[in-house]
Amino acid sequence: MTTDALIENVHFRRDTMPVHDVGWRAMAANISDLAAMGARPLLATVALGMPLDFPQADVLELYRGMLDVASRHGCGIAGGDLTGAPELFIAITAIGEVRPRRVKGRGGARPGDIVAVTGALGASRAGLHLADNASMLNGELREQALAAHRRPEPRVAEGRWLAASEHVHAMMDISDGVSTDLARMCVQSHCAALLENVPVASSAVEAAKQRGEHAQAYALAGGEDYELLLAVAPRAFTHLSSRFNKRFGRPLYAIGRFREGSGPYVRQDDGEAPLPPTGWDHLA
Amino acid sequence: MTTDALIENVHFRRDTMPVHDVGWRAMAANISDLAAMGARPLLATVALGMPLDFPQADVLELYRGMLDVASRHGCGIAGGDLTGAPELFIAITAIGEVRPRRVKGRGGARPGDIVAVTGALGASRAGLHLADNASMLNGELREQALAAHRRPEPRVAEGRWLAASEHVHAMMDISDGVSTDLARMCVQSHCAALLENVPVASSAVEAAKQRGEHAQAYALAGGEDYELLLAVAPRAFTHLSSRFNKRFGRPLYAIGRFREGSGPYVRQDDGEAPLPPTGWDHLA
């Protein structure tokens, strides 16, 4: 059972995001939490607060966005509550089903485990910057960034598949950036981690270049990528990653190692440095 | 699974209600929805949006209020989401457990059935008016009105007991006033209802007298009493009510009859009149 709320002007702005995609993102954030538990989504409820002048067509578009992503993952919308509010907010609760012994949680990572992610990171932040400069990216890179930002795909099938493996010791979704979320996993697992090689989405590489920023920062500190972050037993990683690739058509990326100690570190040219929760930005 | 949201300055004002009781009311509204399904409450999640200057002590009091009423009914708080927001909002989702065949819904009332409620109505509205005039009520009447308004008791035990009876054909909670909620039950059940004799809480009688208003209006149109509204097979009512009285120490009130037709009516001196959703006020 999971709850996640989106608030206008805190989490999104209506002038830069279609209401359909506001609905999609709100629902995707909840379904991603279920994916991180290895759960099959069942039902969601929606508490929607809106200004009195919010157009009825926009209410329908908002629900269409929620339904579009929910239905892709077998999740129904069971009902909810509509109310007046000073600004738009969407609080969604979703319930899912998983065998208790498959639930990984964040506390199972062990020193020596591989830090892994289910996909390249940073595209959502590239998509966010498109709101400031719409012509920054073109073609496929533009599509990649917009889709990642507006219509992220929760990794439900991947989460259920990974939850079934005894070699996966911990799992969570990356909603606040890998630097922040890996720090949480380190705290819960009482260990440290060293990041060596984080895959950066091609749209993030290009957006960072155009903006004169570090592409690694997009991958480490950019939130809302909704890939899964895992701790995997080292001896099983190669086999698991190869089976993952066969099943999902893309690799399971090894991005570092857990070790004794506390908190996340990142490899730099001249050694390594502690990784603050806001990621690479503070190291630059 | 049920969801209900409270918004500052829409559903409550912080200057007239302690935050503890804001939390209580928000949780009670959700638990009351479970009671209406005859369900045993299990877990709730809380999405809380608050202004940046909302004091930490008030956050704790708010959760204390939620926990106080949840724990009385065996309901845990499983987690939730905290976020910044322009004004305080609390969106709660609760899940409960009930055998499917016991769920009554709103669509089962039949012509001839007794319209029944689990308690006297109107005290919550009397409590609301205490905010305007604190000296209006004293002693027990004051306590009754304040408790009904600020710390309503969801009828969980009553709902589960009534759900077990095959003679109860429909059940819902009275959150928006019996005139509004009975109209909903009539629509879902494709029938009409005539109200004859609605029990008015003693604090509502006194508050109405002091304000020069109709006490019946408090009972018919006042919201948030959270008693249960039922359709009961007529031949079984006397026996059911007597068993209810033995079990819960107060009567199950017969307040009218369902009949062929549509919508709710109310008995008046000179016959009967359709009951608008806002209740007696419009008839006065």
The pLDDT tens digits of the residues spanning A142-179 come to 999 999 999 999 999 999 999 999 999 999 999 889 99
Shared domain for A162 and A38, answered yes or no, is no
What single letter denotes the amino acid at residue B181? D
Q: Measure in Å the smallest separation between the Cα of A46 and chain B Cα atoms.
A: 7
Shared domain for A137 and A185, answered yes or no, is yes
Domain hosting A58: range is: 2-101
Cβ–Cβ below 8 Å for B81 and A91: yes
Where b means 16+ CB within 10 Å and e means fewer, A258-271 reads: beeeeebbbeeeee
Cβ of B51 under 8 Å from any chain A Cβ?
no
Average pLDDT over residues B34-52: 95
Shared domain for B89 and B168, answered yes or no, is no
Number of domains chain B is built from: 2
Residue with tokens 């419009």: B282
Shared domain for A87 and A111, answered yes or no, is no
Shared domain for B222 and B156, answered yes or no, is yes
The pTM for the full model equals 0.86
Query: What is B32-44 written as a DSSP string?
Result: HHHHHTTPEEEEE
Q: For a pLDDT cut of 90, what percent of chain B falls above it?
A: 82
Nearest to A3 among B9, B10, B93 (CB): B93
Any idea what the Cα angle at residue B51 is, between residues B48 and B57, rounded to 5°?
75
Query: What is A88-104 written as a DSSP string?
Result: -EEEEEEEEE--GGG--
Confidence of residue B283 (pLDDT cuts 50, 70, 90): low
Using DSSP bridges, classify how beta strands B263-268 and B192-195 pair: parallel, antiparallel or unpaired: parallel
DSSP B84: E
Residue with tokens 């009447």: B141
Shared domain for A223 and A87, answered yes or no, is no
Given B101, B117, B132, the domain boundary residue is B101
Q: Which pair of tokens denotes residue A163?
A: 């939850």
pLDDT for B168 beyond 50:
yes
Q: Measure in Å the smallest separation between the Cα of A69 and chain B Cα atoms.
A: 20
Q: Measure in Å the smallest separation between the Cα of B34 and chain A Cα atoms.
A: 13
Cβ–Cβ below 8 Å for A47 and B47: yes
Q: For a pLDDT cut of 70, what percent of chain B falls above it?
A: 98
- Nearest CA among B189, B200, B255, B194 for reference residue B225: B200
Q: What is the pLDDT of residue A183?
A: 95
The pLDDT tens digits of the residues spanning A92-150 come to 999 999 999 999 999 999 999 999 999 999 999 999 998 888 889 999 999 999 999 99
Between the ranges B196-205, B213-222, B271-280, where is the mean pLDDT highest? B196-205
Residue with tokens 């020596």: A112
Confidence of residue A283 (pLDDT cuts 50, 70, 90): low
Q: Which of A129-138, A146-155, A209-218, B75-84 has the lowest mean pLDDT?
A: A129-138
Best residue in B50, B81, B82, B103 to probe A by mutation, most A CBs within 10 Å? B81
pLDDT for A281 beyond 70:
no
Q: What is the CA radius of gyration of chain B?
A: 19
Confidence of residue B284 (pLDDT cuts 50, 70, 90): very low
Confidence of residue B242 (pLDDT cuts 50, 70, 90): very high
pLDDT for A64 beyond 80:
yes
Confidence of residue A284 (pLDDT cuts 50, 70, 90): very low
What single letter denotes the amino acid at residue B75? C
Q: Give the domain CATH number at B36.
A: 3.30.1330.10
